[in-house]
Amino acid sequence: MAKKKTAEKTLNIDNILFNCRDILRAARNSGSFFEKRDMMLTLVFLRFIGEEYEDGIEKLRQTLIEQGFDLKDENIRAAFFDDATFTDSTYNLSEEARWSTIINTPAPGLNVALDVALHSIAAGSDDLKGCFVEGTFTTRNLAPNDIKKLVDEVNKISHKAFGEEKDLIGHVYEYFLKEFAVNATKEEGEFYTPHDVVQLIASMIEPYDGMLYDPCCGSGGMFIQSAVLVKSRQGDINRINIYGQEKDAATYRLAKMNLALRGLSHNLGETNDSSFIHDLHKGVYFNYIMANPPFNLKGWYNDHLKNDPRWADYQTPPESNANYAWILHMLSHLKSADGVAGFLLANGALNDSDTFEIRKKLIQNDKVEAIIVLPRELFITTDISVTLWILNQNKKGGNYHGRNLRNREYEILFMDLRQWKENPVKGENKKKVRLTTEQIEKASGIYHTWQSQGTDGSKYEVPELYRSVGIDEIEYKGWTLTPSKYIEFIDHDLDIDYAKEMGRIQAEMKEIMKQERKSQQMLEDAFRGIGYGIN
């Protein structure tokens, strides 16, 4: 009787990355977490840019056939394929930089072949210069068997298999962050914003055209997801001009890789640097800002920042924590007429005592439009509950992306989404939840309805979910921005039948006491049986 073939496992990107992780963990010379991660991200980059090139060549081939060209003609091949030109964001690759060359290279020559490919790509494109460290693979010099197994696994990762719309490089970054960086912290810059959270911010502020800025852009995930949203709603990502800055060198290179692969034109500055110490976009003002700054960042301050113009109209933010330094930095970059910012901060920023005067003046200057507390466990590397802040330079109303907005001066919308935790993410080592598309649409709908003509802000509320609040009440409550201070929460304990509940508790206590007396009696009997006295 013939043996049944074992059912082939469904191709899953996390399974592939798990295999890569194990290969790197077992391999000699694979280096630190950061070096392992950089090798993986560089391999994935080579895989994706190679796949795009192959797709571009196939499209070119089909176009030439449709136009009646003979592809067997050497002159035709030389004219169109030897130095191919593409009309989209596809990069022309020399033969040594193509994935087909890499995957067919014998194992002993792979480390050299990979570095030759990187050098060729950097030399052939200004956009891709600085995206990676040349010499990555020969420096580590993995054993032939290890590097071959790694390349074969990465070969399974494909946009065709896993979706064009996904931020796959970001997914790889997030996976290796949670698997390798046991002690990585948000303060170290090793943090990835989940797609659903980015989608929520983008759905709220609608960065459909104009200039978009992220002062701590990480791997570029904010830009990728915003572009996806714009494409789905408006169709033309060329209407967005992307600006960003990133302090960590490796993450800066990753962002450049990510944006280049997406064909998104961008300005991330000439190098990685701190947004506070060296603002690479000083004097530039933006329509939109989206950011997930490091939570409660320490070590951000030096004496040169004491009289910085970014907080000249407020106060110098405390040296111990950069939360309000980020707020004032972003506010300084918003266009004065209509700039909008959506960003995440730790909940402590809502009512910190050492930032009281700054927070008070932000509210008095009518810069804060909405405060939304998010569910816990949305993030891979922390279970902290965080807040989405929305600043708006124009709360007077008018037309905004086809919506007719009312005057919302000196009103703030508070939302509390902490109860939205019924969507657990399966297959995670720790508890994690996500926001569904329906929940994102509901939250942004609450916000957009509150903004719109015909809404009475003084009566806009649903207990335990949201409420519009005027500045007089906020002043009365001590200038706190904690949503639970304003949103009505129903005491569900009022529905309890206390007489019945007390009867149940008393009955349980009687049963416990009965069992305890029975156990004590059995213990005494046992001791008497072996001749010990009991006092």
The answer to whether residues 456 and 528 belong to one domain is no
The answer to whether residues 367 and 422 belong to one domain is yes
CATH number at residue 245: 3.40.50.150
The answer to whether residues 505 and 408 belong to one domain is no
* Interval 496-523: pLDDT, tens: 554 665 566 566 556 656 666 666 666 5
The answer to whether residues 399 and 277 belong to one domain is yes
The answer to whether residues 477 and 369 belong to one domain is yes
Which domain does 31 fall in, by range? 13-162
The answer to whether residues 49 and 197 belong to one domain is no
The answer to whether residues 515 and 477 belong to one domain is no
Residue 190 lies in a domain: yes
Helix/strand/coil (H/E/C) assignment for every residue in 473-531: HHHHCCCCCCHHHCCCCCCHHHHCCHHHHHHHHHHHHHHHHHHHHHHHHHHHHHHHHCC
Residue 130 lies in a domain: yes
The answer to whether residues 432 and 333 belong to one domain is yes
Confidence of residue 194 (pLDDT cuts 50, 70, 90): confident
The answer to whether residues 109 and 222 belong to one domain is no
The answer to whether residues 156 and 243 belong to one domain is no
Angle between helices 323-333 and 356-364 (to 10 degrees): 30
Residue 351 lies in a domain: yes
Confidence of residue 177 (pLDDT cuts 50, 70, 90): low
Number of domains comprising the chain:
3
Is residue 330 a contact partner of residue 391, using CB atoms and an 8 Å limit?
A: yes
User: Which residue, chain included where needed, has tokens 């070590």?
Assistant: 299
Q: What is the pLDDT of residue 12?
A: 77
Q: In the numeric block, which tokens belong to residue 89?
A: 């964001």
Residue 300 lies in a domain: yes
**485 beta partners:** none
Residue 374 lies in a domain: yes
pLDDT > 70 fraction of the chain, expressed in percent and rounded? 79
Residue 371 lies in a domain: yes
Q: What is the pLDDT of residue 14?
A: 78
The answer to whether residues 195 and 311 belong to one domain is yes
The answer to whether residues 51 and 140 belong to one domain is yes
Query: Across the chain, what does the average pLDDT equal?
Result: 83
Residue 172 lies in a domain: no
Q: What is the pLDDT of residue 30?
A: 82
CATH number at residue 76: 1.20.1260.30
Residue 179 lies in a domain: no
Q: Is the pTM of this model over 0.85?
A: no
